[in-house]
């Protein structure tokens, strides 16, 4: 074991590991060491040992709340990057909590956020590739609730929840609002796990830039009146990219 | 976001949230963010000082954590240590890219030693922190101060040597001897 005052006993790699963990290296060396961590387990172990020794010093650094906008920007960046893996079904989670529903209902249609990307918004020319629509639906805080992709070749909308939910006794229903017309149902949807929903092309015909999509929570089986009766949990305008 | 992390939430819960984030669970990731972001933002601001830069880096760090969540290995580090390390590395990279740090005398680095409520809310092993602080405090004061300045401010040996008016070799020797002595004390 190297004695505390025996610097000569330090290998160049141990010195580099120490310097990297301490954070004193110039940029190029810092980056080079970072790269080396990935391919050199011995070096990485040396760095991690120093990091473990030093990291308790962070306990004395006061926490500082970042502005809320930072989280919104993180969501904006991560949402389209990685598809959601199917969550375990029927496990009561955040989605199921009354508080969440209440806050979403309070947030109302104006505050709920939805981002819709439409590729090739005008009707496609004959022989042109069919339009693909994708959407990321987030709540008022920017937390994604689900993503949707419309595949015209299959005539299906694929819905992928971003969080677990359990709708015992309730049915989420998807609506489109075109101009001043009343909401038009696109049908009851299942958002417990990734699902393809066949929606007739006649129903989807109205989807155009400027149309508003909405999801409401309805009694089992869907709205009894043909119009939304439960809380609207997300709305947003279709916009072409 | 309120810094309302529970005192004894522990590494296990944060590890579980990271594991869920690794499968694409954004709700779990948001919980992880809510419970760690204030800690990391404190660390980043300590190094970068300038808030706008610090916010950019915080965003960068969590995007990295989201993408690398599957690589987290609870056997090698606590979740907080893991993300704090990522935060330090990104902050130092930004600092080097910028070329300089807003002037902050060595005394400012000392200030962060002060306890403040909630300062170590996320630390699983408060006893470990105390041991490290004790080992640091046992060093020759100028060695300990040099280590603190490097660690808390992200300074290079060269920059700190200039600031302290000592040859860089001397400064490097203070830091290395100090860290090796700490390692021996903690072993």
Contacts of B113 in chain A (CB under 8 A): 60
Specify the higher pLDDT residue, B113 or A156.
A156
How sure is the predictor about A79, in pLDDT bands with cuts at 50, 70 and 90?
confident
Contact A24 B155 (CB under 8 A): yes
In angstroms, the separation between the Cα of residue B177 and the nearest Cα of chain A is 6
For residue A161, the Cα-to-chain-centroid distance in whole angstroms is: 9
Which range is least confidently modeled, A69-73, A163-167, B182-186?
A: A163-167
**DSSP bridge partners of A173:** A188, A216
Helix and strand totals (H; E) in chain B: 9, 0
> Is the distance from CB of B59 to CB of A69 less than 8 angstroms?
no
Query: CB of A134 within 8 A of CB of A117?
Result: yes
**Interchain CB contact of B26 with A (< 8 Å):** yes
Tokens 């339009």 appear where?
A131
pTM for this entry? 0.57
Q: Residue A53 and residue B120: Cβ atoms within 8 Å?
A: no
| Chain A, nearest residue to B20 by Cα | A87
Contact A12/B at CB under 8 A: no
pLDDT, residue A140, reads 59
- Return the pLDDT at A198: 60
Do B38 and A64 lie within an 8 Å CB cutoff? yes
Contact A237, A115 (CB under 8 A): no
pLDDT, tens digit, for every residue of A213-237? 778 888 877 888 888 887 777 777 7
What pLDDT does A228 receive? 82
pLDDT digit string, tens, across residues A101-137: 445 444 433 333 333 333 333 444 444 445 666 676 6
Question: Higher model confidence: residue B92 or residue A211?
Answer: B92
Instruction: Inspect the interface and report whether the beta carbons of B84 and A50 lie closer than 8 Å.
Output: no
| ipTM metric | 0.81
Instruction: Give the three-state DSSP class for B3.
Output: coil
* Residue A82 distance to chain B (closest CA, Å): 7
Judged against a pLDDT cut of 80, whether residue A149 lies above it is answered with no
Residues of chain B with pLDDT under 70: 1-9, 100-126
Window 64-93 of A, Cβ < 8 Å to B: 64-71, 73-75, 77-79, 81-85, 87, 93
Quote the minimal CA–CA distance from B4 to chain A in Å: 10
What's the 3-state SS for A17-51? Answer: HHHHHHCCCCHHHHHHHHHHHHHCHHHHHHHHHHH
Number of other residues whose CB lies within 10 A of the CB of residue A61: 23
């Amino acid at each position: 074991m190297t004695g505390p005052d025996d610097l000569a006993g330090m290998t160049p790699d141990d010195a580099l590991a120490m310097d990297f963990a301490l954070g004193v290296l110039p940029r190029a060396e810092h980056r080079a060491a970072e790269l080396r961590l990935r391919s050199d387990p011995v070096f990485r172990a040396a760095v991690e040992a120093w990091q473990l020794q030093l990291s308790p010093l962070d306990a004395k650094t006061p926490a500082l709340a970042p502005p809320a906008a930072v989280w919104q920007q993180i969501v904006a960046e991560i949402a389209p990057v990685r598809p959601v893996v199917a969550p375990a079904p029927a496990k009561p989670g955040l989605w199921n909590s009354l508080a969440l529903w209440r806050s979403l209902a309070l947030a109302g249609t104006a505050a709920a956020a939805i981002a819709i990307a439409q590729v090739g918004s005008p009707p496609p020319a004959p022989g042109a590739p069919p339009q693909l629509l994708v959407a990321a639906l987030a709540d008022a805080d920017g937390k994604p609730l689900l993503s949707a992709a419309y595949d015209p070749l299959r005539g299906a909308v694929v819905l992928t929840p971003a969080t677990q939910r359990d709708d015992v006794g309730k049915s989420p229903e998807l609506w489109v609002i075109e101009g001043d017309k009343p909401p038009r149902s696109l049908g009851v949807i299942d958002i417990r796990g990734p699902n393809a929903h066949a929606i007739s092309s006649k129903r989807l015909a109205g989807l155009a830039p400027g149309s508003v999509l909405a999801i409401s929570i309805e009694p089992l089986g869907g709205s009894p009146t043909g119009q939304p009766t439960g809380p609207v949990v997300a709305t947003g305008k279709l916009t072409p990219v | 976001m309120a810094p309302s992390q529970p005192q004894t939430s522990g590494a296990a819960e944060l590890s579980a949230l990271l594991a869920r984030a690794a499968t694409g669970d954004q709700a779990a990731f948001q919980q992880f963010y809510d419970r760690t972001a204030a800690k990391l933002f404190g660390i980043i601001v300590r190094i970068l000082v300038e808030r706008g830069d610090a916010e950019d880096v915080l965003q960068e760090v969590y995007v990295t954590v989201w993408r690398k969540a599957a690589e987290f290995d609870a056997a090698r580090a606590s979740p907080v240590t893991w993300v704090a390390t990522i935060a330090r590395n990104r902050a130092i990279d930004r600092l080097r890219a910028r070329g300089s740090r807003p002037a902050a005398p060595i005394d400012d680095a000392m200030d962060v030693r002060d306890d403040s409520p909630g300062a170590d809310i996320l630390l699983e092993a408060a006893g470990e922190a105390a041991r490290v602080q004790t080992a640091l405090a046992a060093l020759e004061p100028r060695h300990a101060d040099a280590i603190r300045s490097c660690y808390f401010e992200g300074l290079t040996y060269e920059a700190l040597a200039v600031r302290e008016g000592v040859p860089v070799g001397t400064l490097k020797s203070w830091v290395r001897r100090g860290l090796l002595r700490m390692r021996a004390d903690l072993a």
